[in-house]
Homo-oligomer: A and B are copies of this chain.
Amino acid sequence: MTYLQEHAAEIEAAAARIAPYVRRTPLMTTDLDARLRLKPECFQVTGSFKARGAFNAVLELKRRQSVSRGVVGVSSGNHAQALALAARTAGLPAVILIPFDASPAKVAATRTFGAEVIQDGITFENREERVRQVMAERGLSLVHPFDDWDIIHGQGTAAMEMLDDDSEIGTIVTPTGGGGLMCGTALVAKARNPRIRIIGVEPERADDARRTLRSGALQVLDKAPDTLADGVRATAIGQRTFEVMVARNLIDDIVTVTEQEIQDSLLRAWLGLKLAIEPTAALPLAAWFAGRVSDDGRPVGLILSGGNASPEVVARLLGTA
């Protein structure tokens, strides 16, 4: 089998593995444009696509018996909730490191799914180092939010469903932070049809993936970017996502959007599309509204990554609408 065929087979296997635990989200049309297709992962279990990868990774760790005392993850957002639920479902303890200044609502949601949360002294900067300590001390298995093939294959199931529902789609647009969703999407879509174009969207303030793609060398942000799209604050893509994006050249383009464009698109999603998405999920919409998704006449699919928006943020933006 070729590289693409192997990965696509893993994504098909992931879909079967996680099917009892995740939701097959609908593919939606809108009044905006007859060719637009939306995959609203805000309706996914735990409120984001991250449940797909987390369930696949945890179930695979368990099947391979390569987990003994439980799993550990680092996240202040959707991966935390997804990993916590996947671990609980698999009967494994989960420990999640969340920076001390994260939103209390997200910490509470993670605890709701039964995970132990460690916040004391955790910062965005020291978290990778601290998670290695916790792994070593407690004998836990790390589930990385994006630099893990099981995670990437799980995330690819969203695009797989999209193409099962509409095989005419010619372009798929996803947000990109660490690149897991975008690369899983590229692997399954290019295996089905190499002509399908894959476009990632980043905030202008977090354009490391765009620069990495253009330069062919890994670009790293100095610090976590200050963006409304809090799901894509990773400072660099991973080794595996670099492989897919640069070495294998499977991403057609990465475009950026401004904070104002993210904000405007979020409001249009809530008020016009009636989709209560989070700012990160507004990235593909923002690129589409801005005309940065090049058009080949075939349907365009946007993966709207999640719906775990902070009520304060939405209230503030709507108040100015």
Contacts and interface: CB of A to CB of B under 8 A. Distances in A.
A274 interface: yes
A185 to B, nearest CB: 21
A271 B312 CA distance: 11
**4 shortest interchain CB distances as A-B pairs:** A274-B307, A315-B318, A26-B26, A42-B274
21 contacts: A23-B29, A26-B26, A28-B43, A31-B45, A47-B274, A267-B311, A270-B276, A270-B314, A271-B311, A273-B276, A274-B307, A275-B275, A311-B318, A311-B319, A311-B321, A312-B318, A312-B319, A315-B316, A315-B318, A315-B319, A315-B321
A277 interface: yes
Nearest to A41: B274
Interface of A: 23, 26, 28-31, 40, 42-43, 45-47, 267, 269-271, 273-277, 307, 309, 311-312, 314-316, 318-319, 321
Contact of A276 (B28, B274, B321): B274
A137 to B, nearest CB: 33
Nearest to A47: B274
Number of identical protomers: 2
B31 A28 contact: no
Contacts of A315: 314-316, 318-319, 321
A319 B311 CA distance: 7
A268 to B, nearest CB: 11
A175 B321 CA distance: 28
A211 to B, nearest CB: 32
Contacts of A321: 311, 315
A217 B34 CA distance: 47
A26 B24 CA distance: 11
A77 B155 CA distance: 40
A267 B272 CA distance: 18
Contacts of A45: 31
Contacts of A43: 28, 30, 273-274
Contacts of A277: 274
Contacts of A46: 31
